[in-house]
């Protein structure tokens, strides 16, 4: 006779279209850890807890590294110190360090105290560096050899290990002081004469990554050099660990998601099924910022209320001016942010880019301002109105191009991510400029 918990599992699974707990367990064991994480995130909190109960300890621990922070926090809260210590055995050092950073300091301390000396030293080493740095990404599990070692000895050593750390494409060569010397590709190791030494066949011209490099810089290095793994060193050249391509791919995906979601004020790690109060709190700040910028634009319009009352056509055409400026500025802003992210745009060529974008904006502005001016003059039978909107559109598009070119650099100097704040600031600039020039010029012309 099944107990109450088993019956509850049966009822929930039957509601999901699955016939029994046993069948669901079989299905879950066939999934990879990342697929288990996807299954957990794709279900409501109550169902997640049911699925979690059906997983064995190893599957739970392995799936933790793939969960978004909000979802992972749900399960970490229910895990005791012993379970967290057990998770360290199933996870890479860098992945386990990421999990510990989510926990309160007291619990993290308890977990570290219960790890063996070797694992604790490795985890503490990673935790000592910022999460978004090479040190925060690195795994301390490395295979090192000395230049004087014979290839035959290295091969014998690898056979004794039986398995290699994941994404191992080369061994790291260090001297007696653990200073990085070079790498020994596995392909070279397997095809060389066993009697030669590591020094004779190693690659000594492969640069290591400094532990202080940002994760974005690490991703760029991997992309430029087509790396699978790379050694990490400190300022003195001492080997600290290595970074593998799977960690770099995670950085690239997270940066791409952030570029899309952050513009809407959404958190990359936000749970799709998060409680209402959490979603409200996170989005309220962004909505408040947008409200302030909208009120600033509305204040400009209010200054010219009398002109709008006299010439009603101004109210009809205002959105056209602001919209054209916004689109032109966004095109330039996106281009510059992308160029700076890929390293194509820097201090040396930013002025050239500004001049180029100014000329492009001037030509596009002249084309569309002329067309809009003719259309406005024809529709409203008012030549002066055509002149006003053409001038306002030209000025707004030019200002948008200048702002779009310079904003990324200015925001970075203020330690603000231009991918997040650039769009809001640019929209505010183009709206205020467009309304002020259009309505101000109209006030002068129709006075």
Residues 12 and 127 in one domain: yes
Residues 71 and 154 in one domain: no
Residues 154 and 222 in one domain: yes
Which of 132, 164, 182 terminates a domain? The answer is: 132
Q: What is the distance between the alpha carbons of residues 115 and 414, in angstroms, rounded to a whole number?
A: 41
Q: What is the distance between the alpha carbons of residues 140 and 116, in angstroms, rounded to a whole number?
A: 15
Lowest mean pLDDT among 37-51, 119-133, 146-160, 385-399: 37-51
Give the gyration radius of the chain's Cα atoms. Answer: 30
Q: 1: pLDDT confidence band, cut at 50, 70 and 90?
A: very low
Give 1-38 as a DSSP string: ---HHHHHHHHHHHHTT---HHHHHHHHHTS-HHHHHH
Q: What is the distance between the alpha carbons of residues 422 and 157, in angstroms, rounded to a whole number?
A: 54
| CATH number of the CATH domain containing 402 | 1.10.357.20
Residues 316 and 438 in one domain: yes
Residues 339 and 420 in one domain: yes
- Whole domain around residue 385: which residue ranges? 276-446
Residues 295 and 343 in one domain: yes
Q: What is the pLDDT of residue 368?
A: 94
Q: Is the pLDDT of residue 7 over 60?
A: no
Q: Is the pLDDT of residue 292 over 60?
A: yes
Number of structural domains (the chain) is: 3
Q: Are 150 and 196 in contact (CB under 8 A)?
A: yes
Q: What is the pLDDT of residue 268?
A: 56
Lowest mean pLDDT among 107-111, 205-209, 237-241: 107-111
Residues 69 and 118 in one domain: yes
Q: Are 199 and 222 in contact (CB under 8 A)?
A: no
Q: What is the pLDDT of residue 284?
A: 78
Q: Is residue 171 part of a domain?
A: yes
Instruction: Look up tokens 């050899």; give the residue.
Output: 145
Q: Is the pLDDT of residue 289 over 90?
A: no
Which of 132, 156, 183 terminates a domain? The answer is: 132
| Secondary structure letter of residue 202 according to DSSP | -
Q: What is the pLDDT of residue 11?
A: 52
pTM over the 0.85 mark: no
Which H or E element spans position 102?
Answer: none
| CATH number of the CATH domain containing 222 | 3.10.580.10
Residues 285 and 259 in one domain: no
Residues 150 and 232 in one domain: yes
Q: What is the pLDDT of residues 132-167, one digit of tens each?
A: 899 999 988 899 999 999 999 999 999 988 788 888
Q: What is the pLDDT of residues 24-48, one digit of tens each?
A: 677 777 888 888 888 888 788 888 8
Q: Is residue 270 part of a domain?
A: no
Q: Is residue 268 part of a domain?
A: no
Q: How far is CA 125 from CA 13, 65, 112, 292, 334, in A?
A: 43, 19, 12, 44, 38
Q: In the predicted model, what is the mean pLDDT of the chain? A: 85
Q: Is the pLDDT of residue 118 over 90?
A: no
Q: Is residue 406 part of a domain?
A: yes
Residues 414 and 284 in one domain: yes
Q: Is residue 240 part of a domain?
A: yes
Q: Is the pLDDT of residue 370 over 60?
A: yes
Q: How far is CA 121 from CA 10, 106, 212, 239, in A?
A: 44, 18, 19, 15
Q: Is residue 139 part of a domain?
A: no
Residues 183 and 220 in one domain: yes
Q: What is the pLDDT of residue 271?
A: 58
Q: Is residue 137 part of a domain?
A: no
Which of 105, 132, 159 terminates a domain? The answer is: 132
| CATH number of the CATH domain containing 83 | 1.25.60.10
Q: Is the pLDDT of residue 364 over 50?
A: yes
Q: Is residue 37 part of a domain?
A: yes
Residues 256 and 283 in one domain: no
């Amino acid at each position: 006779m099944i107990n109450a918990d088993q019956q509850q599992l049966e009822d929930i699974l039957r509601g999901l279209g699955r016939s029994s707990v046993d069948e669901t367990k079989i299905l879950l064991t066939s999934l990879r850890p990342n697929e288990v994480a996807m299954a957990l995130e794709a279900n409501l909190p109550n169902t997640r807890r049911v699925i979690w109960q059906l997983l064995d300890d190893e599957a739970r621990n392995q799936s933790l590294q793939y969960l978004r922070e909000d979802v992972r926090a749900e399960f970490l809260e229910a895990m005791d110190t012993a379970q967290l210590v057990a998770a360290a055995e199933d996870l890479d050092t860098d992945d386990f360090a990421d999990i510990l950073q989510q926990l309160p300091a007291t619990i993290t301390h308890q977990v570290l105290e219960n790890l063996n000396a070797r694992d604790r030293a490795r985890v503490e080493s990673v935790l000592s560096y910022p999460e978004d740095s090479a040190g925060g990404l690195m795994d301390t599990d490395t295979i090192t050899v000395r230049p004087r070692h014979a290839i035959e000895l290295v091969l014998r050593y690898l056979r004794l290990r039986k398995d290699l750390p994941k994404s191992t494409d080369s061994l790291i060569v260090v001297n007696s002081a653990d200073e990085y010397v070079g790498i020994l590709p596995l392909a070279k190791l397997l095809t060389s004469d066993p009697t030669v030494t590591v020094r004779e066949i190693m690659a000594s011209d492969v640069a290591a990554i400094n532990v202080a490099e940002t994760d974005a810089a690490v991703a760029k290095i991997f992309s430029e050099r087509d790396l699978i793994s790379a050694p990490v060193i400190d300022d003195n050249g001492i080997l600290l660990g290595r970074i593998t391509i799977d960690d770099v791919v995670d950085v690239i995906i997270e940066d791409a998601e952030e570029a899309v979601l952050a513009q809407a004020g959404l958190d990359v790690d936000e749970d799709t099924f998060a409680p209402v109060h959490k979603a409200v709190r996170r989005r309220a700040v962004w909505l408040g910022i947008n409200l302030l910028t909208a009120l600033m634009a509305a204040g400009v319009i209010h200054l010219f209320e009398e002109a709008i009352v006299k010439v009603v056509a101004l109210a009809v055409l205002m959105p056209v001016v602001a919209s054209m400026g916004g689109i032109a500025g966004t095109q330039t802003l996106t281009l510059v942010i992308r160029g700076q992210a890929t390293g194509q745009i820097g201090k040396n060529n930013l002025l050239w880019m500004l001049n180029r974008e100014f000329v492009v904006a001037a030509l596009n502005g002249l084309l569309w301002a002329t067309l809009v001016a003719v259309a406005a003059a024809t529709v409203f039978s008012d030549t002066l109105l055509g002149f006003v909107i053409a001038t306002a559109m030209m000025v707004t598009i030019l200002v948008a191009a200048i702002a779009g070119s310079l904003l990324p650099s200015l925001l970075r100097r203020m330690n603000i991510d231009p991918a997040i704040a650039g769009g809001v600031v640019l929209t505010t600039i183009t709206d205020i400029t467009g309304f002020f020039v259009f309505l101000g010029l109209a006030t002068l012309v129709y006075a």
